[in-house]
Structure 1
Amino acid sequence: MIVIDREAPSDVGRREALLDRAMGQARFLKTSARVRDGRRPAEGLSLVARDGDALVGTVRLWHAAVPSNDGLRPVLLLGPLAVEPSRQGDGIGSRLMEAALARAAALGHAAVILVGDAPYYARFGFSAEPTGDLRLPGPYERHRLLARELVPGALAGTAGLLVPTGAPAEAEPTAEAVFGTAGQVGPRRAAG
């Protein structure tokens, strides 16, 4: 029986192993990973799917902001969403997504942005339309920048670069720490 629950500190190692199996090391090189680097996930919005003692899915949401005509507007950045490869197609990803969106709405968040496949995320109300004037700080495929407004009009009048705003994370490794600035494995070397 699948149970969706908040991620516990003891889940972090198993979560990273699941992400390795589901997405591989290339996940650290994505622009969305760079936005999350050095930040903690939004409080209460790191979820896992458990099947007994096995961790079979994970999703996290992160604080960010987008420029608008009235200043920076808070949003959440979703990702990564991953399911144990042998369990894909069992509905675990859908359950995680629905739980994450419900919790985000219950906590008063107004919009969620992600980079992903539009056909998959459309069933959860995501589209590229609300992100037409938004951009990420690095390479990405424009048609994959999707959003869902949890509050109607939450992204109206937004334009410009999405920026991370979450609390700093001292304990979580960044993509640069793991892969270096040019994608090589190893810590980033100081200039000089």
Structure 2
Amino acid sequence: MYHLGVETSQDMWDVEALYDTCFAPGREALSSYRLRDGVLKVSDLCLIARDDLGILAAAIRFWPVHIGEAKTLSLLLGPIAVHPTRQGEGLGAMLMQNSLERARLLGWDRVMLVGDEPYYRRFGFKLLSGIKMPPPTNPDRILGMALTDGAWDSVQGEVCRAV
């Protein structure tokens, strides 16, 4: 059994260790990390899953970003990770669905991420056209999901830090 909760300051090192385990060295050199530098994460949406022994099994984080000249506010999802020994148990889907529903309830309109469309399609993410992430992001991996009807209509431009 897993216990879902909001990430606290006491969880930070466990979450960072999980990300180090799940992602290649140099993960913090990715362009999406430049959008997070000096920006507070959206704490109410950053969730973790621990097992009955209190061992961290999965985590998801969200950050605010601005898009285009209009500085349209959006959520940037990521990273999301499930410990390799816990993959295939539905933890990633549980975190994704729970956090997206929380985002809707908190009044967020849209969420984006950089990832594989075939995987994220099942959660409702689609390729975003007209949205540019800092290089060297592959434009075919920029995905978005509207949390309210029409939330991505006419949103375009470069993604930048929300400071």
| Cα distance between partner residues in 2 of 1:55 and 1:104 | 22
Gaps of 5+ in 2: none
Runs (4+) off by over 4 Å: none
**Could you state the TM-score of these two structures normalised by the residue count of structure 2?**
0.95
- Match of 1:121, SS state, is helix
The answer on whether the counterparts of 1:118 and 1:144 sit within 8 Å (CA) in structure 2 is: yes
The answer on whether the counterparts of 1:31 and 1:138 sit within 8 Å (CA) in structure 2 is: yes
**Residues 99-158 of structure 1, C-alpha deviations (whole Å, 9 max, x = no match):** 110111010000000001111100000010xx2001012211111100000011111111
State the match for 2:60 in structure 1: 59
| Cα distance between partner residues in 2 of 1:60 and 1:10 | 15
Tell whether 2:98 aligns with 1:85: no
The answer on whether the counterparts of 1:6 and 1:45 sit within 8 Å (CA) in structure 2 is: yes
The answer on whether the counterparts of 2:6 and 2:43 sit within 8 Å (CA) in structure 1 is: no
State the match for 1:151 in structure 2: 148
Structure with greater strand percent:
2
**Residues 17-74 of structure 1, C-alpha deviations (whole Å, 9 max, x = no match):** 1111111322111111111112110131111011121011010110112126xx2211
- Match of 2:61, SS state, is strand
State the match for 1:104 in structure 2: 103
| Cα distance between partner residues in 1 of 2:46 and 2:112 | 15
The answer on whether the counterparts of 2:7 and 2:43 sit within 8 Å (CA) in structure 1 is: no
**Could you state the TM-score of these two structures normalised by the residue count of structure 1?**
0.81
- Match of 2:145, SS state, is strand
State the match for 1:184 in structure 2: none
Over the aligned positions, Cα root-mean-square deviation in angstroms equals 1.2
- Match of 2:63, SS state, is strand
Identity %: 38
Matches within 5 A, 1:10-159: 10-52=10-52, 53-67=54-68, 71-128=70-127, 131-159=128-156
The answer on whether the counterparts of 1:112 and 1:147 sit within 8 Å (CA) in structure 2 is: yes
| Cα distance between partner residues in 2 of 1:43 and 1:55 | 17
The answer on whether the counterparts of 1:4 and 1:99 sit within 8 Å (CA) in structure 2 is: no
Instruction: Report how many aligned residue pairs link the two structures.
Output: 162
Gaps of 5+ in 1: 167-192
The answer on whether the counterparts of 2:133 and 2:139 sit within 8 Å (CA) in structure 1 is: no
| Cα distance between partner residues in 1 of 2:106 and 2:138 | 30
The answer on whether the counterparts of 1:31 and 1:137 sit within 8 Å (CA) in structure 2 is: yes
| Cα distance between partner residues in 2 of 1:11 and 1:51 | 14
